[in-house]
């Protein structure tokens, strides 16, 4: 019941946060920043935006978790200050935006396979098996292919209910992008995208919707953001990575997936990483904004507020929040390249916050909401950022936050 209450509280907030007008008349001392998009990073954004508002009296940050596809459309329509997506814009989407868009990576996460199967608390899957389940080729939990992958596990003679996203979703994009890499059959029949024509299963809206159906349905399996599965204490399968190791989605295994040279524009996929410790369905999530902020009667003050918020999110204070609620903080390389991108944001050609090379650990970019002191901008390790916080603590943070941000504004 406790898990269900937490889930319902989170779900209500996810879909009731409104999108404020971009023309909020913000000033350097106050105003409103509005965004919309991916549900995957919503718990992180909910808390990091709250902390930012506590540090900046008079500034309100609204975020509507409507899915990555909705976030991209909202930014294209100029109805929000920023969009959020778990999939970077493809060339066709870039051409449709009528303005150059910058991808600001905010954190990392994993897409996990959550399931409900009475008496089964350990399950191992491969990409090929997942593809066959969602294509309707494996229909029973005691299918010989699943049994072979799980020696010693008494899988039942029970129908499998795969659950997928009904809305345009970056989570779906990363899930299908991974399966397209590891399964030729999936690539030729299903392909990759934010929305697909599914061969089997039932649909649900948003990560909370998929998690809710999996939670209530015996025999169900669904792909969801790792944070949602951890919060609801749903069993999740170990996945076999490219090196042949079965791994859980942890901060360390997700971060290991980014042990590659990242592009300067940070439009990168890190699924099926070759790192032997990497979780195979790891991803970046981004905030999308226009490089030139002078549009739709936006003021320079509004642009400055938005840039300041972005710098806060990637600061040690912001990344510490991510780690505490089971998102993987950005690796050092990603932080540095993202800082350079933020330094390119301009207002009618005038750079808003020029990129500055960090010279020492004394350089600071944000204040910590916990101690009120300037936070060091030098990147920290995952363990340092997590700082020993437990999952129980992260649940408490979620509960507190749910009381602070109103359902409707």
Sign of CA dihedral 343, 346, 349, 351: negative
Give residue 369's pLDDT.
40
The gap from C-alpha 218 to its chain's centroid, in whole angstroms, comes to 27
The model's pLDDT over 56-73, given as tens digits with 9 standing for 90+, comes to 999 999 999 998 999 999
| Separation between Cα atoms, residue 118 and residue 102, nearest integer Å | 46
Contacts of 40 (CB under 8 A, 6+ apart): 68, 86, 109, 170, 171, 207, 225, 227, 283, 285
Q: How far apart are the first and last CA of the chain?
A: 29
Give residue 228's pLDDT.
83
Q: Which residues of 61-92 are buried (b: 16+ CB within 10 A; e: fewer)?
A: bbbbbbbbbbbbbbbbebbbbbbbbbbbbeee
pLDDT in tens, the chain (409 residues): 344 434 434 443 433 333 333 333 334 468 999 999 998 899 999 999 999 999 999 999 999 999 899 999 999 999 999 999 999 999 999 999 999 999 999 999 999 999 999 999 999 999 999 999 999 999 999 999 999 999 999 999 999 999 999 988 889 999 999 999 999 999 999 999 999 999 889 999 998 899 999 999 999 999 999 888 887 889 999 999 999 999 999 999 999 999 889 999 999 999 999 999 999 999 999 999 999 999 999 999 999 999 999 999 999 999 999 998 889 999 999 999 999 999 999 999 999 998 887 654 444 433 444 433 333 333 344 444 444 333 333 333 333 232 222 222 2
Give residue 230's pLDDT.
80
Cβ atoms of 231 and 170 closer than 8 Å: no
The model's pLDDT over 177-201, given as tens digits with 9 standing for 90+, comes to 999 999 999 999 999 999 999 988 9
| Local structure of 197: helix, strand or coil | coil
The model's pLDDT over 116-141, given as tens digits with 9 standing for 90+, comes to 999 999 999 999 999 999 999 999 99
Specify the pairing of strand 350-351 against strand 346-347: antiparallel
Q: What is the pTM of this model?
A: 0.79
Residue appearing with tokens 């600071």: 364
Cβ atoms of 344 and 352 closer than 8 Å: no
| Separation between Cα atoms, residue 35 and residue 19, nearest integer Å | 7
Q: Which residues of 20-45 are buried (b: 16+ CB within 10 A; e: fewer)?
A: bebebebeeeebbbbbbbbbbbbbbb
| Local structure of 332: helix, strand or coil | helix
Find the angle CA(362)-CA(105)-CA(250) to the nearest 5 degrees.
90
| Separation between Cα atoms, residue 325 and residue 51, nearest integer Å | 14
The gap from C-alpha 310 to its chain's centroid, in whole angstroms, comes to 15
Backbone angles phi, psi at 297, to 5 degrees: 60, 20
| Separation between Cα atoms, residue 45 and residue 83, nearest integer Å | 12
């Amino acid at each position: 019941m406790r898990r269900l209450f937490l889930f319902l509280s989170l779900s209500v907030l996810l879909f009731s946060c409104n999108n404020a007008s971009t023309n909020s008349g913000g000033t350097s001392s106050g105003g409103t920043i509005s965004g919309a998009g991916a549900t995957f990073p919503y718990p992180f954004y909910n808390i990091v935006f709250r902390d930012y508002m506590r540090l900046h009296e008079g500034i309100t940050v609204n975020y509507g978790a409507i899915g990555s596809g909705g976030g991209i459309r909202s930014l294209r329509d100029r109805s929000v200050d920023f969009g959020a997506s778990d999939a970077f814009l493809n060339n066709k989407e870039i051409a449709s935006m009528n303005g150059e868009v910058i991808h600001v990576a905010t954190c990392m996460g994993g897409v996990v396979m959550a399931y409900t199967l009475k008496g089964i608390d350990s399950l191992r899957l491969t990409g090929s098996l997942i593809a066959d389940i969602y294509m309707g080729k494996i229909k029973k939990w005691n299918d010989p292919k699943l049994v072979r992958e799980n020696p010693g596990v008494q899988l039942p003679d029970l129908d499998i209910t795969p659950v997928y996203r009904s809305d345009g979703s970056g989570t779906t994009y990363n899930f299908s992008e991974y399966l397209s890499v590891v399964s030729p059959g999936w690539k030729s029949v299903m392909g990759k995208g934010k929305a697909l024509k599914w061969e089997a299963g039932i649909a649900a809206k948003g990560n909370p919707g998929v998690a809710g159906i999996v939670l209530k349905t015996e025999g169900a399996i669904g792909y969801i953001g790792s944070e949602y599965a951890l919060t609801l204490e749903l069993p999740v399968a170990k996945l076999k990575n490219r090196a042949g190791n079965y791994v859980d989605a942890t901060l360390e295994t997700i971060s290991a997936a980014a042990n590659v040279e990242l592009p300067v524009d940070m439009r990168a996929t890190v699924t099926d990483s070759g790192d032997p410790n990497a979780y195979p369905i790891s991803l970046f999530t981004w905030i999308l904004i226009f490089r030139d902020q002078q549009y739709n009667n936006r003021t320079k003050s509004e642009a400055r507020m938005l840039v300041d918020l972005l710098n806060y999110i990637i600061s040690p204070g912001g990344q510490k929040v991510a780690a505490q609620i089971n998102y993987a903080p950005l690796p050092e390389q990603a932080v540095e390249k993202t800082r350079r991108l933020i330094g390119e944001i301009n207002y009618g050609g005038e750079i808003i916050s020029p990129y500055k090379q960090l010279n020492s650990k004394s350089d600071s970019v944000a204040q910590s909401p916990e101690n009120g002191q300037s936070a060091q901008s030098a990147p920290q390790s995952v363990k340092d950022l997590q700082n020993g916080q437990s999952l129980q603590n992260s649940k408490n943070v979620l509960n507190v936050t749910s009381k602070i941000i109103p359902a409707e504004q």
